[in-house]
Amino acid sequence: MNAVSHRFRTLRSLSAVSRHSLRLTQVRWSRYSPEYRDPQTDKEYYRKPLAELTEEEKCEQELRKTQLIKAAPAAKTSSVFEDPVISKFINMMMKGGNKVLARSLMTQTLEAVKRKQFEKYHAASAEEQATIERNPYTIFHQALKNCEPVIGLVPILRGGHFYQVPVPLPARRRRFLAMKWMLTECREKKHRRTLMPEKLSHELLEAFHNQGPVIKKKHDMHKMAEANRALAHYRWW
Amino acid sequence: MLNRVTRLVPRARQLDPGRFLHGGPQGPQGLAVHLDDRVPDETPRAGSRPSEDDPAGAGEQREDRHYRIPLQDLPTVFAHGLPRRFGLQTGTAVLAGVSWSLGCTLDPVAQPRRRTGAGRAAAPSGRRVCSAPLAPARPASRVCQVKTFHEACLLVRRPALELLRHLDGTNFAHPAVRYVLYGEKGTGKTLSLCHVIHFCAKRDWLVVHVPDAHLWVKSCRGLLRSAYNRQRFDQPVEASSWLKSFKTANERFLSQIKIQETYMWNKRESTEKGRPLGEVVEQGLTRVKNATDAVGIVLKELKSQSCSGAFRLLVAVDGVNALWGKTTLKREDKSLMAPEELALVHSLRKMVRNDWHGGAVVLALSQTGSLFTPRMAYLPQELLGKEGFDALDPFVPVLVSNYSPEEFERCIQYYLENSWLQHEKAHTEEGKKELLFLSDANPGQLERLCAYL
């Protein structure tokens, strides 16, 4: 029940009273009741001719005619260039609701990545040119994938002390951590006069080649988890 | 055939507002008729590779083809610098070893690492060639393009082509015809101007190019009272940087042209009659206080001597509406100055009058850098105001509009060939339709969209 779990936070550390109970508190509310379905913005879905649809898809389309559908958020479009990872990153970069600024920073970052790669491409020899990746989107996705930790640490309360216990992370938590580390690195560890697109493009390119401070942070997390592996049995899920 | 007939109508309509709204001095009456009669034979073709036509043969330039400017020409022809986003796309890494002062050119063929041999010689990016204040301030697409692609390619479009054909057939005995490029933001006025400048430079015209007149009326430091006329103000920084780029661009003419009067700079220094114009420029460069006066003298001499036929003069000014607009410069008592109180603006206004012959004047309007003009204004009437319009009347208005479907297709093809459009969906029909929708075929917008895709 993933739809439920992301809105509820489990108080994992309270194990004193009943070790196996999970107390659920609602963190994010939604104005929509459960029968509302998510909007489908993919143009290809609607363009499929009737003959090609399977029974399941026909049934779903019938249901969509009568069921209630949520309103699509403003940032979700039917554009062919839309990318959910990029949208999520833009949201994380956004401050004070200034989506226009966040989005323009993102586009400038992608442009900067592209120009740097083109410079390298033109400077390289013919054999190296084949290895140089110039698509900013593949670089972005690959960089974030390289930054995702495999295992994470969670503080668990035992006998009055908090222990950092190594724990497998769900996919969304890994993606979140990768983006968070990337943004924190750019915002805090760089010189304040450098612009975000410049900093971010540099970090993304380094992460793409498995180098740089964000990758180091991921490795540090892995090493800590390895060091604390004796505490792994504190985890009960 | 039908295309040609329908296009005659907008061209006729273009001339009407420019000519009859204000009772200004009427130019050659036959001009309007003459231009309408000449129907340029267009052969729109979607070319696959950027063509390497020599600009000297204007008839060989096809519409909807990319015309590549040889990189070794960039520093001399565009000494002031290219529009910012255009020049950024030409390679700087390649240019690392080249010394500008020696003016050496690299043999394009001898660069084995370049993919296509021709037109890939090293040249500094437009930004490095000129000194900073004169680099065009607008973030147009093309400067970036020259740096990244290692080539300067312009799409040959109808307004520029028409202008080139008219310039080809100029009658140098008649007063200088003024052409005004106007259009909405991002449609390509500055680049059309650059195209015309390159064409004329290749034909050995003397080009007086002011890359952005707006820079002369705002944010100027070091204003001085002019020694020549106490009512006017000098701008030493802007004047000296303009003189430097003018010298780079027109080196060969400076020794040929001799001045016709003696000019006293101060009690000790003077330039006698008969000395080459280069000495006046040197004086302006060495003594920065006299730079503005040197600019005035240069313009005056060129104007008076162009009638003699020794050279052909092209006056190209971008953002010409700045000359008749408002300034944000203040006098000592903190009151705003009028543009005519600036000596540079005064001399440039005299230059764009049509009381000389032996050349042409090509002007481009611009709202982007202008002061106190509404954002959506683009017509000559709105941007120049009554004073400016009367001063420039009569002129030939040249409308620069958004891309036609063929031009749009050609532009997308160029980006795809250079692998600039990296997004996999951009190669599909859906992607192209979306680009067309998002940019509305506006060249500036399209370039910005494609930059991050």
Query: What ipTM was reported for this prediction?
Result: 0.83
The CB density around residue B236, as the number of other CB atoms within 10 Å, is 19
End-to-end CA distance of chain A: 16
Q: Is the pLDDT of residue B47 over 80?
A: no
Closest residue of chain A to B88, computed from CA coordinates: A115
Q: What phi, psi does A155 have (nearest 5°)?
A: -80, 125
Which residues have CB under 8 Å from A75's CB, separation 6+? A87, A90, A91, A99
**Mean local confidence (pLDDT), A222-235:** 94
Residues of A in contact with B451 (CB under 8 A): 107, 111, 114
Strands B313-318 and B206-210: parallel
Beta strands in B86-235 (DSSP E): 152-155, 177-182, 206-210, 224-225, 233-234
Cβ separation A79–B434 shorter than 8 A: yes
pLDDT at B316: 94
pLDDT at B375: 93
Kindly report, residue by residue over A127-177, the tens digit of the pLDDT.
Answer: 999 999 999 999 999 999 999 999 999 999 999 999 999 999 999 999 999
Q: What phi, psi does A57 have (nearest 5°)?
A: -70, -35
Residues of A in contact with B92 (CB under 8 A): 119
Cβ separation B453–A79 shorter than 8 A: no
Q: What are B351's strand-pairing partners?
A: none
From the list B92, B423, B452, which residue is nearest A111 (CB)? Answer: B452
Q: How confident is the model at residue A60 (pLDDT cuts 50, 70, 90)?
A: confident
Higher per-residue pLDDT: B57 or B154: B154
pLDDT at B147: 79
DSSP assignment of B220-239 equals ----EE-SS-TTSEE-HHHH
Whether the CB of A115 is below 8 Å from some CB of chain B: the reply is yes
Whether the CB of A42 is below 8 Å from some CB of chain B: the reply is no
Q: Is the pLDDT of residue B10 over 80?
A: no
Higher per-residue pLDDT: A196 or B29: A196
Cβ separation B425–A81 shorter than 8 A: yes
> Hey, of B151, B415, B423, B447, which one would you mutate to test binding to chain A, going by the most A CBs within 10 A of its CB?
B423
pLDDT at A62: 82
> Hey, of A118, A132, A139, A141, which one would you mutate to test binding to chain B, going by the most B CBs within 10 A of its CB?
A118
Q: Is the pLDDT of residue A31 over 90?
A: no
Question: Of all helices (H) and strands (E), which one includes residue A139?
Answer: helix A136-147
Higher per-residue pLDDT: B21 or B388: B388
> Hey, of A47, A77, A81, which one would you mutate to test binding to chain B, going by the most B CBs within 10 A of its CB?
A81
Q: For CA atoms B363, B364, B368, B372, give the dihedral sign.
A: positive
Residues of A in contact with B431 (CB under 8 A): 80-81
> Hey, of B90, B148, B149, B416, which one would you mutate to test binding to chain A, going by the most A CBs within 10 A of its CB?
B148
Rg (C-alpha) for chain A, rounded Å, is 22
pLDDT at B60: 52
**Mean local confidence (pLDDT), B420-445:** 94
From the list A110, A114, A123, which residue is nearest B93 (CB)? Answer: A123
Residue B372 burial (10 A CB sphere; 0-12, 13-18, 19+): exposed
Residues of B in contact with A136 (CB under 8 A): 422, 452
Kindly report, residue by residue over B89-111, the tens digit of the pLDDT.
Answer: 544 333 332 322 222 232 232 33
Judged by average pLDDT, the poorest of B57-66, B222-231, B286-295, B331-340 is B57-66
pLDDT at B89: 59
Whether the CB of A196 is below 8 Å from some CB of chain B: the reply is no
How many A-B residue pairs are in contact by the CB < 8 A criterion?
51
From the list B91, B150, B423, which residue is nearest A81 (CB)? Answer: B423
Residues of B in contact with A113 (CB under 8 A): none
Higher per-residue pLDDT: B351 or B35: B351
Cβ separation B431–A81 shorter than 8 A: yes
Taking the C-alpha atoms of residue B188 and residue B445, their distance in angstroms, rounded to an integer, is 11
Taking the C-alpha atoms of residue A228 and residue A224, their distance in angstroms, rounded to an integer, is 6
Q: Is the pLDDT of residue B385 over 70?
A: yes
Residues of B in contact with A123 (CB under 8 A): 93
- Nearest chain B Cα distance for residue A103, angstroms: 11
Taking the C-alpha atoms of residue B90 and residue B154, their distance in angstroms, rounded to an integer, is 13
- Nearest chain B Cα distance for residue A201, angstroms: 12
Q: How confident is the model at residue B43 (pLDDT cuts 50, 70, 90)?
A: very low
pLDDT at A196: 95
- Nearest chain B Cα distance for residue A168, angstroms: 34
pTM of the model: 0.78
- Considering A177-181, B43-47, B159-163, B326-330, the range whose residues carry the highest mean pLDDT is A177-181
